[in-house]
Amino acid sequence: MDRVALRGLKARGHHGVFPREREEGQTFIVDLVLGLDTRPAAAADDLTKTVHYGVVAEEVVGVVKGEPVDLIETLAERIAQQCLKHEGVEEVEVVVHKPDAPITVPFDDVTITITRSRA
């Protein structure tokens, strides 16, 4: 399976279990790896035979900006399901970063990584 990766998609969302997270929001960063067969697109040099990563990026940002959820696990699942709606995408790995998580000790990042497939 071939891979198309999008790294560092940023959007402000209002996800989290604490009222402050819901009210003020925070930046979330998303990395995606889409699994698909790119041979038909390459052979025909045809965008319609592959995934349009610009559209995927816009949709993922829309999910992050959309309806708030408590857990980044839920956010990652919603993103994965959105990606799998694209014809040809057989598998997706989603990493959601929450660099401003409400943690009381020094840290660099909090992430959740999930892999989902059509099968």
CA 61 from centroid of its chain's CA atoms: 8
Of 10, 65, 85, 98, the active-site residue reads 98
Is-contact 101 63, C-beta < 8 A? no
Active site residue 49: no
DSSP percent split of the chain into helix, strand, coil, nearest 5 = 35, 30, 35
Instruction: Report the relative pairing of strands 2-13 and 26-36 from DSSP bridges.
Output: antiparallel
Which are the catalytic amino acids?
Answer: 98
